[in-house]
Amino acid sequence: MALRQIVLYDNEILRKKSKEVQIVDEKIRQILDDMAETMYNAGNGAGLAAPQVGLLKKLVVIDMGQGLIKLVNPRIIKQEGEQKVIEGCLSIPNIYGKLIRPAKVTVQALNENGEEITLTGTGDLAKCFCHEIDHLEGVLFTDLVTEYVNR
């Protein structure tokens, strides 16, 4: 595994749409492992999307304290309700804002072995799914903020 450099808000790659991964192979698994190590090393991140390490690939890692989730080509297939949340981002250090996210989301993706999986998250996990999948579409949480807050 290797640490990767986290791309910051002024880098144009964060505004581009990521491409679908065609084959889940050892190279993709290595990228996912590197992304996880990078996220954990950052200290306060719950998720990381490939564009945040300079790669336009539909890859996401998330750990909300229940273990590492690795997603290839994730997409939200269902969302329910809404919740008011506060978010930050490793690519936008020390900036936090309030926004509205779905209270519950269902995500379809491939796992690190190329197998199709469906996951449902509520609360903070739903928020994290939305935040990271937005990164794959070139959307930053600051695009959705209703009010900035100090933390």
Annotated binding site: 89, 131, 135
List, as one string, the DSSP characters of 112-141.
TTS-EEEEEEEHHHHHHHHHHHHHHTT--G
Nearest C-alpha neighbor of 3 from the set 23, 33, 25, 27: 33
Of 12, 132, 137, 147, the active-site residue reads 132
* 8 Å CB contact between 49 and 39: no
73, containing H or E segment:
strand 69-80
Cα–Cα dist 104/126, whole Å: 5
Residue partners of 87: CB distance under 8 A and separation at least 6: 96, 97, 99, 127, 131, 141, 145
Active site residue 80: no
Catalytic residues: 132
